[in-house]
A and B are shown apart, each in its own frame.
Chain A
Amino acid sequence: MDDSDEALMAQVAKGDQRAYRELAGRHLPAMLGLARRVLGNAADAEDVVQEAMLRVWTHAPRWQPLAAFRTWLTRVVVNLCLDRKRKARWVDLEAAGEIVDPTPGAAERSETDERERQLAGAIAQLPARQRTAIVLTYNEGLSNAQVAKVLDTTVSAVETLLIRGKQNLRRALGNLINED
């Protein structure tokens, strides 16, 4: 039996809730991680992923398998994240930079690791699309062409986002990244 994402999505389109829950279980952790990195806020990320997964259910009958399901879902999550960033009136950058690591002892580690905190703060201050391009490239492991597909833009536009994003990070971090 074909248990690919696309085959499950075909079942979901017919109203199969079991297939939907299996599909959601497969992609929830990765999508939650992606949303948290793009938004820098755990609560917003949870809302965005819930909305994205509900859209998978409601829009399934209209879904066309033109791209891989994972790519489409990533695009939905990223678009919802960018919408949320646009609508946010202001963001406390200090708070946005601190992403809470749930593993034991994380709080102590984050206090001692100033460099990681500064990096998170610098990433949080990047414009949303630059930040998204960097997250998709370095955390999701997507190629520039795949990032372009997710952001619905050209490869050269993605490369420009990466170049500007890294220039901004180097400016913000100074010599911090050279002290390895």
Chain B
Amino acid sequence: MNAELLQTFLDRHGADPARWPAHERAKVEGLIAGDPEARRAFEKARRLDAALGRYGDAAAPDNAALARLTAKLNGPLPAQKRPFWRLPAVLLDWQFAPAWPRMAALACCAVLGFAIGLTGIDRQFDTQTTTSVSSSDVSASVFESEPFPGVQP
């Protein structure tokens, strides 16, 4: 790793070894320990990081602003935005414990379905009578070709 790559590494991950990727930490620490130029780059990065941390300290929020915000939020609140379509709350809140009554109900429904299918109670709904809509041949009027297609007036 040359000086430029080390600088990029320090910019990317900062000067705190705890934030460095584990697989690169030992290599970078060895480089810093053995190379004076790398050591100087590390010290510069450490000073910049410390300065950036101090910037955060200086911008700590003030109590007056917090009090104003709290007072505003303690006032009347606007209406909440509900989703346009919601499953019934009972489905969303469905708890699966204890499950056995629901499983028993599901099994009963399945058995009832098989029984209906086997006994043929539903067969009358499937039978349909064929109804003639018209005896005349309407295809000629529907599919009659246009005279001189493509001819412009």
Contact = CB atoms under 8 A, between A and B. Distances in A.
Given A62-B81, A137-B14, A123 B55 contact: yes
Contacts of B69: 28, 32, 46, 49-50, 53
B53 A178 contact: no
A46 B65 contact: yes
B80 A15 contact: yes
B83 to A, nearest CB: 6
Nearest to A179: B47
B11 A167 contact: yes
Interface in B65-107: 65-66, 68-70, 72-74, 77-83
A162 B12 contact: yes
A54 B73 CA distance: 8
Interface residues of B, number: 39
Contacts of B147: none
A38 to B, nearest CB: 10
Contacts of B8: 163
Contacts of B60: 33, 101-103
Contact of B81 (A61, A138, A170): A61
B13 interface: yes
B63 A169 contact: no
A29 B61 contact: yes
B93 to A, nearest CB: 11
A21 B74 CA distance: 7
Interface in A11-47: 13, 15, 17, 20-21, 24-25, 28-29, 32-33, 36-37, 42, 45-46
Contact of A37 (B59, B65, B68, B80): B59
Given A21-B74, A62-B83, A177 B68 contact: no
Contacts of A167: 11
Interface of B: 8, 11-14, 19, 44, 47-56, 58-66, 68-70, 72-74, 77-83
Q: 6 closest pairs, A vs B, by CB?
A: A139-B56, A102-B62, A32-B61, A138-B52, A163-B11, A159-B12
10 contacts: A13-B80, A21-B73, A28-B69, A42-B65, A57-B77, A101-B59, A101-B60, A103-B60, A139-B56, A162-B12
